[in-house]
Structure 1
Amino acid sequence: MAGNRPHYILLPVSPLFITFSLVCAFMLNLLPLGRWVGAPDFVAVVLVFWSIHQPRRVGIGVAFMMGLLMDVHDASLLGENALAYTLLSYFAIMIHRRVLWFPMMTQAMHVFPLLLMAQAVQAFVHFTASGRFPGLLHFAESVVAVALWPVITWLLLAPQRRAVDRDHTRPI
């Protein structure tokens, strides 16, 4: 670890903030960014984040429900995103203790295969249902999502951070 990097003691996360972040990720997925090559699946990234950081609060059930919402929004085969998000959450929960020990960029490299696997599951289900392969550019969104991992981690952990230098005029 870096000697001069601050070590934050995190406050407990609010369930309302988890819900707010999942709703915001869903709203970002509702934007017409899907037509652009490499537009990340924000719900998948936020699900992986919370499955790694709060596996008891955000688990497979939440991932399944978010997947069903995305299936309805995308007008895709019902269960395509639900299956991918469920597997994504399951494998993120499996490795959550290991991932938290690493620095940010190594965490991103651990998340990358999970996001690729979720996209491969979506592509496989889409291929078996329609007979069309979405193409290799379909997997570019995992690369973009991993590039955004440090920013998303910083944003989602920001409300939980305490000050490094405790000020006696602040309660926390």
Structure 2
Amino acid sequence: MNSPHYILLPVNPVFITLSFSVAFFLNFLPWGGWVGVPDFVALVLVFWTIHQPRKVGIGVAFAMGLLMDVHDSIYMGENALAYTLLSYFAIMIHRRVLWFHPLTQSLHVFPLFMFAQLVQLAVRMLVAPDAHFPGWAYFTVSLVTTVLWPVATLLLLAPQRRAKDKDHTRPI
């Protein structure tokens, strides 16, 4: 609790939409068969659900999940269900998570990302009769997404940290 807590400016809804668009297009990139490519939409979704639960919630999570389902050409509702549950549990812990430093916050959001991947895997295994377990490397996505949490915090809170009018005599 030695680090100062700054009063943040209100978030711009256009910036939230822009961040979701960038995350969505980052998921479009042809990563190929790389192991551990993060789920940028899930990262941005959890971030805004924790920091702005009144603006980004379960409805946005469901819509982004449907968009990701169409993009990935997988079973309709797999990502929608995972993102909806991810958003719900992020809303449940959002007050507690905000008290911690971003590195410690990543320890709180890791189980969320892991749970979302487990839900996606469970849906895939239940729906497809010939589906098999993809291996333990499948869960590196959660680990890499969690490692990116402090970077996402730094980037997505940057517009709110700037002062509207700089005054060097004011402490806030």
TM-score, normalised via structure 2 length = 0.92
For the 8 Å contact 1:126–1:132, the answer to whether it is kept is no
**2:57 paired with 1:66:** no
Cα distance change of structure 1 residues 101 and 140 upon mapping to structure 2, 3 Å threshold: same
Equivalent in the alignment of 1:142: 142
RMSD (Å) for aligned C-alpha atoms = 1.7
Aligned to 2:45: 47
2:88 corresponds to: 90
Letter paired with 1:158: A
Asked if 2 retains the 8 angstrom alpha-carbon contact of 1:22 and 1:43, the reply is yes
Deviating more after overlay: 75-84 vs 131-140? 131-140
2:167 is aligned to 167
The whole-number CA distance in structure 1 between the counterparts of 2:15 and 2:38 is 21
TM-score (norm 1): 0.92
User: Kindly tell me: are residues 53 and 34 of structure 1, through their superposed partners in 2, closer, same or farther at Cα, counting changes over 3 Å?
Assistant: farther
The one-letter amino acid paired with 2:31 is L
Distance 2:151 2:116 in 1: 21
Alignment partner, residue 17 of structure 2 = 19
Deviations 1:136-155 (A, max 9, x none): 11110111111111000000
Distance 1:112 1:158, change over 3 A: same
Q: Which residue is equivalent to 1:154? A: 154
Q: CA deviation at 1:162?
A: 3.1
Q: What is the rounded CA distance, in whole Å, between the counterparts of 1:71 and 1:134 in structure 2?
A: 19
The alignment-based identity, stated in percent, is 69
Number of the residue aligned with 2:118: 120
Q: Is the 8 A contact 1:126 1:133 kept in 2?
A: no
Deviation at 1:104, TM superposition (A): 1.3
